[in-house]
A and B are shown apart, each in its own frame.
Chain A
Amino acid sequence: MSSLLNATLAELGAELAAKRVSSVELTRACLERIAALNAGLNAFITVDEARALADARSADERRGRGEAAALTGIPIAHKDIFCTRGMLTTCGSRMLANFVSPYDAHVIEQFDACGAVLLGKCNMDEFAMGSSSETSYYGPVRSPWDRGLVPGGSSGGSAVAVAGRMAPAATGTDTGGSIRQPAALTGVCGLKPTYGLVSRYGLVAFASSFDQAGPIAKSAADLAALMNVMAGFDARDSTSLERPKEDYARDLNPDLATLRIGLPKEYFGEGIEPGVRRAVEEAVRWFEAQGARAVPVELPNTELAVPVYYVLAPAEASSNLSRFDGVRYGHRAAQYADLADMYARTRAEGFGAEVKRRILVGTYVLSHGYYDAYYLQAQKLRRLVARDFAAAFERCDVIAGPTSPATAFAIGSKVDDPVQMYLNDIFTIPAPLAGLPALSIPCGFDGKGLPVGLQLTGPHFSEARLLGIAHRYQQASDWHLRVPSETPL
C-alpha cells in the first residue's frame, strides 16, 4: 500500500481502472495513514470514516457498472472552509465549532458528482486569515518535514495532508497566497486559478474580490485533473465566469524553446534567503537549457502590494464577517445584557485575535473620514499593480520567482508580530490583486533540508499553459516526489 500512497492521480486512476485496487482499499489505506499521523501533524479537523468508506463503496459500485469518470474512487481532503452537508464545517474557528452545514459548497458537489471520496476536512488558519496555520481554534498544523515548524497557511492542513501522503490530493483556497505558500513550505504543488473560474458558492467568505478555490496535489498533472473537476460556471456565485469548459490537461507538453520567462528584479532582491534564491535560479537555468529565454521585467509596485492587500482584504472581511452575530448560526455567548451586548460578546468569544485584528483594521479603513485615504487609495493602487503585470506580459509569457522569500519558520516565532507574518506573503499577494492565475511547485531544498517553491504566474486564463510548463519541469526532476523526512512511507 505504501507505493499507492505516493502515487499520482493518473497512476491511482490506472490501478482503479484495472481493478488492481478498489476505492475501499485505497480509502482504508489513507484512513490508516491519517490515524497514524494526524495526532502529531493536526492536519485534519474532521475525519468521518463511515462517510469516506460509504463514498468509496459507491465509487466501486459505479465503476462496476462501467460508469466511472475521472477521479471516481479517489479520496480527496477538503479545506474546512467548504460547506459540507451534514458535516462539521468550522473554518478553523470557535465561531463555527458547532456548525453542521445544511448544504454543500459547489466544489464539494463537483467532487461528489464525479464519484470522488470525501476523506475529511482539513485544519486551517481561522477564517483563512494567516500564513502559518497557527491561528486555528483547533491548534496549529505541524510540518511533516519538522514538527517544530509551520506548514504555511492558511491551507496548511490541506498541504500537510498531501505532503504527509495522507491524501492523494486536497482542495484549498487562496486569498493572498493561502494555497501557494503552504504548498511551497511543505514541498507539494498548488494552483490559484484566475478569479472567477471556481465557484465560491458554499465557501465561507473572507475577502470576496480575492477568494479563489484551487487544488493542492503532488504534481502539476494532478492539479490539472483536479481543475477539470473544480472549475466551471455556477449561477449561484455572482462572480462565477460564464466560459466554455476547458481541459486543463490539454497542454501538458508545451514547447519550451519559444517560452519567454519573465524575471522581475523585485522578486530576486534583498530579503530572500540564499537557499531559496539558489533553488529558484537553478530551476530557471533548467528552463534556459531547454531553450527558454529569460527576460528581465519590472513590477515596480510590488512593495506596495502587501500594504494595499492589508487594507482591502480586512475591509472586505469586516463586511463579510458581520454575518457572525450569534443569531442565525454558529456560536452565541451564554451571558449577555441586551442585543448589542449579545453581538459584542458572541464575537469576542467566537473570533480569535488575528480575525478580530483584521475586522478592526477593516472597520477603521471603511469608517467615516478614513475611507478615501485608505480604502479608495488602496483600490487605486490595486490598479497600478495590475497594470505592472499587464506591461510585463507584453514582454514575457510567464513570470517566475520564489513563492515565499523564506522556507518554513518555527511555530510561535511570528505569531506576536503580525507585520512580520504579513511580509512573508510579498510574492503571493500580487497575483490575486490582479486576479491572475499562479502556481507553486517544489524546486529543491535549502541548506536546512526544507522545501523551496517556484512560483509561476501567467495572464488571465493561462492555467493550462502554466500547468504544462510545470509538468515539463517535473518530468525532468523529482523534487515533487520526495517524501517528508518525519513521515516516511
Chain B
Amino acid sequence: MKAFIISLLMLGIIESASAMNHGGMLMDEKGMIMNANSDNLPRDCTKISENVDITIRAGQKHALKFTGKMFAFDQQEWNVKPCAKINITFINDDQIRHQLMIHGLPGYLYPEGMFHLELNGEGQLQASLIMPSQKKTYLVHCEVPQHMEKGMKAQIKVDGGDGDLPSIPGISQPVKADVYPVDWTRLTTAVLLLCVLAGCAIPFFFIINAQVIKSMIQKMLAKLNLLPKH
C-alpha cells in the first residue's frame, strides 16, 4: 500500500492544538486511516490491560440477518476491559465506500474524539487504538449518508459500558420507530369479539353470585382479622 503520510498537513486541517502531539493520517487511492494510536496511553491508564484483536466486516450482505436494514457490520457489539488496546482489521465486502468511525474518544489523543478508517471499495485495513479506563459505550458507525440510518451501527463497551446506544440492529430500539400495519386476521377479530362478550358477562356474573362472593370476602377478611367484631 503506497501511503502518503501527511501529518504536517493535518495541522492545518484540524484546529485543535492537541493534534500536534499525535495523530496523523494515512491516505491513498484505497482508503484512509485517521488517528490510529497503538502507543500513547490515555491519561487515566498506567498500562495496556489487554490486547484485543477484532475483525469487523462491513457490507450490504451483513444486513440480511436483520429485517428492515440495508447495510450492516458483521457484529454489533464488542466488550473490552478498561485500557484495552484494540487491534482492528476492517474488511469491506462491498464494491462501494464504507467507513468505520469510533466516536467519543478523548480529544487529546484522538483529534475531534474520533478514530476513523475508510475503505474506498473492497479490501482491508488494519489499525489500533487504546481505550480509556472509563466505563463507557462508544459509537461505531459508517457515516456515508444513510448507512448508519439503514443499519451500519454498532457499539464498543469498555468495562461493561454505560448502556446501549439506540437503533443498533438486533440490540436496541430506535428513538423514532417505523410504523407498520397490524396483521389483523379473522382470528384477531374473533378474539376481540369474544373478549367484548366476556366483558359484558362480568357484571352479570357478580350479580348472580353476589351471595357467594360476599361470603367469600367475609371469610377472607375474617382470616385477616379485619372484620369488625360484633
Chain B associates with chain A = no
